[in-house]
Amino acid sequence: MKNIKLVATDLDGTFLKDDRTVSADNIEALRKLGEKNIIRVAATGRDLKKVKEVLNHHIPFDYVVFSSGAGVYNWNKNTHIYKQNINPVSAIKLLNHFIKQEVNFHAFYPVPDNHKHYFYRGNTDCEEFERYFEFNKSHAEALNLKQLPNSEMCQFLVIIREDENHFNTLKNQIESLCPEIRVIRASSPITKGYIWIEVFHKSVSKGNGVNKICQEMGIQQKETMGLGNDYNDFDLLAFTEYSFLTENSPEEIRKHYPLVPSNENNAFAKAVQNLLD
């Protein structure tokens, strides 16, 4: 690990504490990585607006892979270097499918405006859907069924109760409908007991976002390290050469990668300590 040139970390449940603050130890670890000219990347499911709600400009990252890899942002230069949205034909197919299935979902504007979104309430009440809506209603717009948007979309978010069979059924239906898209599973960051089904273009992943940075900076895959805590970090951890999960990861996935302390116990700072000695 002495040859590491890039470190990428998830935010929620990994770099951030449970109250969404950043520990002094993690900030100091970022600073020391910078002194060693190691590129520092935040790789998150958050859109860029939500990233800026928890990271101020003084927190020394170099790049942000946001919306699970739909966009890559140069944190220091305030410029977008990559984006990938779902094309309009596939977006319309997905809209019609979700409406027909009467599921609760959100459809997000294309990057870089993907903090804005349309919402649709299905035929089953979902407390988690309503919680998400309350958090984001200032940027939400009810879907007009008489005139569906004919444009690119960054992603779709379908929220269901935790049920493996239901998730797998929906995943297979969605991916067979549009071969150019993919489904990413995420545990709800709001309430336990719910699954977030995130639908993106098939090239979107945290790992691919980090790869774009590597290509720009001339960094080899074998010179990378990644840290995460959930299902939606697997694309990142599969790409990085040295990969770790936090102790607060779901029990069923902890066996896949070496563990570091929890996000409440400076997971990031502990994970990169060997790079700083």
Q: How far apart are CA 44 and CA 11, in angstroms?
A: 6
Two structure tokens written together for 3: 């040859």
- Could you give phi then psi for residue 126, rounded to 5 degrees? -140, 110
The confidence score (pLDDT) of residue 120 equals: 96
pTM given for the model = 0.89
Tokens describing residue 9 = 């970390």
The predicted structure's pLDDT at residue 230: 92
Q: Please report the pLDDT score of residue 67 as a whole number.
A: 95
Q: How far out from the chain centre does Cα 205 lie?
A: 8
- Residue 245, Cβ neighbours under 10 Å: how many? 27
105-108 and 79-83: which strand pairing? unpaired
Structural domains of the chain, ranges and CATH numbers in brackets: 6-83+204-276 (3.40.50.1000), 88-201 (3.30.1240.10)
Q: How far apart are CA 157 and CA 150, in angstroms?
A: 18
Q: How many CB atoms lie under 10 A from the CB of residue 107? A: 23
Cβ partners under 8 Å of residue 105, min gap 6: 98, 119, 120, 122, 156, 157, 158, 159
For residue 252, what is the DSSP state?
G
pLDDT at res. 271: 97
Do 245 and 229 meet the contact criterion of CB atoms below 8 Å apart?
yes
pLDDT of residue 19: 95
- Crossing angle for the helix pair 88-101 and 164-177, to the nearest 10 degrees: 140
Provide CB contacts within 8 A for 277, sequence distance 6+. Answer: none
pLDDT at 125: 87
Q: What is the mean pLDDT, run by run of 10 residues, along the chain of 277 residues?
A: 94 96 97 97 96 94 97 97 96 96 95 96 90 92 95 95 90 92 84 89 96 97 97 95 96 94 97 93
Cα dihedral value 274, 234, 238, 109, nearest 10: -110
Q: How far is CA 37 from the centre of its chain?
A: 25
Angular region, 218: left φ>0, alpha ψ -120 to 50, beta rest: left
Lookup: tokens for 61: 């990252």
Structure token pair of residue 35: 């002194």
In the prediction, which pLDDT does 45 show?
92
Quote the DSSP letter at residue 255.
G
Intra-chain end-to-end CA distance of the chain, in Å: 11
pLDDT of residue 91: 96
